[in-house]
Structure 1
Amino acid sequence: MDVALDPRPLSTPTSEATMQHPQPHPKPLSTSVIGASLAGLFAAAAAANAGHQVTIIERDGIPTTPQARRGVPQSEQTHILLHRGLLSAEHLLPGLHDELIQRGAPEFKVGRMALLSADGWAPRGDYGYPLVCSSRTLLEHVIRKRVLALPNVRVLEQTRVQALHQDPSGAWTIQLQPTDHSSSPGGEHSLAADLVIDASGRSSRLPTWLKGLGLPPVPTTTIDARVGYATRRFTSPRPPGPGVLMLASARQSRGCIVSPVEDGYWQVTTVGRGEDRPSRDGEEFLEHLAKLPDPMALDMVKGMTPVSDVVVHRQTANVRHHYGKSRRWPAGLLVTGDALCALNPVYGSGITVAACQGLLLERSFMKAQGGRLNTRRLQRGLARTADLPWTMATSQDRQLLTTPQRARPVEAVVGWWGSEVARLAGQGNDRAADVMQAVTHLMSHPIALFTPPLLLASLRSRLRPRRSQAPEATPARGPRPFGGDAHAPLDLRDLEAPALAGEGRSALG
């Protein structure tokens, strides 16, 4: 079974062809998804779209309105859904984009946001991929509502997975325990399943469960640059519109984003690393903004009224579990989302990776119709989906470590050239800006960075340096509509390629 993803239908996600899902699986599998956050919801949608019977097991209660959950500690922080993620989510749940807009999420072209990198202010204009500015709580609420409305999906909330057991035939038994004994007085019970998908996030207990199955420990890679960020919600007399993004980098330890969200609110997030991480104190929050390299963000916030406390998040280490490589990997077990590969949220790719993995799951389930699902091979495919975003995040974070880690030669070359293309984009080179945006949003292979026109532009710019100026609007140059095909679609096999490792590549997520 070929598990590589070919998302060509995503070039027109609102078309009739994209709205139609393949025929259900002739032999529905009893599928249990552990975790009802976004990765679990995407996995549940994938299995349900393939005709399987899905049970979502969630440790916490399921809210009926957009609100933060204890199991999602970063839910009140600013999030960005990259364009590839938006297309993948739209395919799994047709109509998602339109509902977010109807629920008040602003949408604008990426090129309209004021962007400050280590190389100065980027030119502004009505170009680039559309960005839907929704809070994490609204995004998760809309997706959860759509998934739970599917006829072959049910949810067991306030239920914890205690252990996994597999009999010689490959069938699974999941040992469960209620977390709220007042509403579930029955105590421990069990659930049978043909397929188990762990999407329980960074706090996944899968290493413990695998040990209980008699399997050896799975290697884990961790890169922690000790990045932290703090967010506060505001109201403002100014109408919703493009905000400000100041990128943190090896040369500039602080960054921020000022972004509109639904219902006329604004979310302001400030980022720092090490001892420079922001605190939850309101005055210190403003002081952190005041120490940014440009006063624009602070000036915007001074005209706003805070309507929430400052919330902080410091669980930002890149953590990768190398599941699926051992020949003893259990049949019928899959891992997705942060439980497989947790990325520094500052780079904004976690939700997109989970959506792409959901799409890979759906297509793999479809291809397995009438045959056995090779879950070990599929697990390797899910891991490869995170290859490029992992390299993008860790290449940058390695530069922020107290003791920097040496990158592989190919990554070093790609990283250096990526920094150069980012510099060209900041100087107003349209070609560089388009390519950088396509790679950042996982809409193009990084090889697109290596073209003769960009090489010539680099040489010319070195001979004629340009001074950075405050951001001013430039003439519009071909905005891309939602789902446009300005760039060739990306096969997820391309996500195995070395990533762009240059400075000034971070977004908040």
Structure 2
Amino acid sequence: MVIGGSIAGMLAAAAVKDHVDRVEILETHEIPAGPEPRAGVPQAAHFHILLSGGADAVDGLLPGAVGRLLAAGAHRVPMTTNMVMYSSQGWYRRWKKDSHYLIAASRDLTDFVVRQHVLKAPNVTVRPRTRATGLLGDARRITGVRVREADGTESEVTADLVVDATGRASRTPRWLAELGLGRVREDRIDSGLAYASRVYRAPVATRNWPLINIQADPRLPRAGGIAPIEDGRWHVSLMGTADSQPTWDPAAFAPYARTLRHPVVADLLDHAEPLTDVVVTRSTVNRRYYYERLGSWPEGLVAVGDSVAAFNPVYGHGMSVAALGAVALRDRLAAVGLRTGLARQAQRAIARPVQLAWSLAVGQDIHYSTATGGQPGFADRLLHRYVSRLSRTATGSYHVATALTDVLALQTSGVSCSAPASWPRRQGPAAPQLTAPMFTPAERRLMDEAGIVLTAAGG
């Protein structure tokens, strides 16, 4: 029994379907028939990326799914080859040899392709407009869930394994406390960033067009980016903290982009056609439950995705961490089956990719002056300085940029970043820092044909 028809829930169903007789997914809302908005996904209006670590995990769970996503119009963006990225340490070079990638598409399309793939399995079904109201069983073993249908009818459904994929709205901590298992440790770090997003008709051909990213930084909190998505569109998100947050006002969206520390996003938007209203969210808190640290854990229950940890979406880790968590569940189920110890082992395995993404997100967000939930200690400040130096080196060194991207794309642990700091000395001098965004001759021709002129600061 999977509680929640989110992408995390669908991937969890994919993870378990070959190891059980039947999988039933409980979804509070209706399931869209196509790539359409699904109720209960507040972040869907903001651009979503699937990092190569997550994309590889999705393909491992659902062979061919990434290919189907690309065939439906998603973009495969080589990192950093096809990215115009301005970090707090400078412009990244667009190395001709790419080692990582990301998939850029609307959240609606990604959800649809994954959902369609999962629901092809004959033993997977969805029960829409059905809410889980509690767990069955006791502190030693969960045996199913209590459910309520849309008409108010209540019933009990038994299951050998219950997977919580309800996201930020998860009630598992409360349910565990009611079973007498104690309080789950919870951490919340909120940078105070707010997002405003809008979809545009791109003024240039989007196939092989680069992703544009003016990164957020605690010292320079206004940021934004343009992601190419399906159907010749750009998904644009702008962000800021405190009194510099973007607003719902459509007339203020492009002028806000002009206030970023570089005008390239604004220059491009001047020639793009808005297709949607502006959507704003302020729900960007990083929140994590440390289920793996509980003194005891009931058999028959596993939590995945945002039910375990939800991240500030600026880092693009949510879908990838959910996919990696589903792979961890699949691997433990394949190794031990539905035996005693599965749930505990799976929850600990799910915590590993969560820990890496959590360190990356909180390690940045805790340094904002507007942050709540914690203060950076000595170790946090030391690590932040080290990563800043590493990022600066990466702007001119392919080897360091690749090592850093290994971590950011969730394809390796953060430990790999400890060695590359000395690599530039062995590989020769780093290239000089860029003073303007890097566009290829072909991209500049497209901009010339569209009448796009980068302002003086835009290079």
Structures share fold, TM-score greater than 0.5: yes
Matches within 5 A, 1:465-476: 466=432, 468-472=434-438
Matches within 5 A, 1:311-330: 311-330=279-298
Aligned to 2:26: 57
Deviation, structure 1 residue 35? 0.5
Partner-residue secondary structure (3-state), 1:81 = strand
Contact 1:215 1:328 in 2 (8 A): yes
Q: Is residue 2:149 matched to residue 1:178?
A: yes
CA distance in 1, matches of 2:377, 2:392: 22
CA distance in 1, matches of 2:424, 2:280: 44
Partner-residue secondary structure (3-state), 1:71 = coil
Q: Which has the higher mean CA deviation after the structures are superposed, 219-228 or 125-134?
A: 125-134
Contact 2:285 2:312 in 1 (8 A): yes
Q: Is residue 2:113 matched to residue 1:113?
A: no
Contact 2:400 2:423 in 1 (8 A): no
Contact 2:198 2:279 in 1 (8 A): yes
Show structure 1 runs of 5+ residues with no match: 1-31, 476-509
Contact 1:323 1:340 in 2 (8 A): yes
Contact 1:245 1:256 in 2 (8 A): yes
Aligned to 2:454: none
RMSD (Å) for aligned C-alpha atoms: 2.4
Post-superposition Cα deviations, 1:333-368, rounded to whole Å, max 9, x if no partner, equal 111111111111111111111100100111100111
Q: Is residue 2:163 matched to residue 1:197?
A: yes
Deviation, structure 1 residue 106? 2.1
Q: Normalised by the size of structure 2, how large is the TM-score?
A: 0.89
Matches within 5 A, 1:26-425: 32-110=1-79, 111-128=81-98, 129-166=100-137, 170=141, 172-179=143-150, 181=151, 187-240=153-206, 241-369=209-337, 371-402=339-370, 405-407=374-376, 410-425=379-394
Partner-residue secondary structure (3-state), 2:236 = strand
Task: Percent identity, please.
Answer: 33
Contact 2:141 2:300 in 1 (8 A): yes
Q: Which has the higher mean CA deviation after the structures are superposed, 380-389 or 207-216?
A: 207-216
Post-superposition Cα deviations, 1:10-58, rounded to whole Å, max 9, x if no partner, equal xxxxxxxxxxxxxxxxxxxxxx110010111111100003344211111
Q: Normalised by the size of structure 1, how large is the TM-score?
A: 0.80
Contact 2:95 2:398 in 1 (8 A): no
Aligned to 1:486: none
Name the count of aligned residue pairs: 436
Deviation, structure 1 residue 171? 5.2
Deviation, structure 1 residue 229? 0.7
Post-superposition Cα deviations, 1:248-298, rounded to whole Å, max 9, x if no partner, equal 101211111111101111111111122222111112211210101111110
Which structure carries more relative contact order (alpha carbon 8 Å, separation 6+)?
A: 1
CA distance in 1, matches of 2:228, 2:440: 22
Contact 2:258 2:266 in 1 (8 A): yes
Contact 2:51 2:103 in 1 (8 A): no
Aligned to 1:498: none
Deviation, structure 1 residue 147? 0.8
Deviation, structure 1 residue 219? 1.9
Q: What amino acid is the match of 1:132? A: I
Contact 2:84 2:439 in 1 (8 A): no
Partner-residue secondary structure (3-state), 1:292 = coil
CA distance in 2, matches of 1:169, 1:295: 58
CA distance in 1, matches of 2:105, 2:424: 39
Aligned to 1:478: none
CA distance in 1, matches of 2:20, 2:361: 35
Contact 1:225 1:274 in 2 (8 A): no
CA distance in 1, matches of 2:82, 2:43: 26
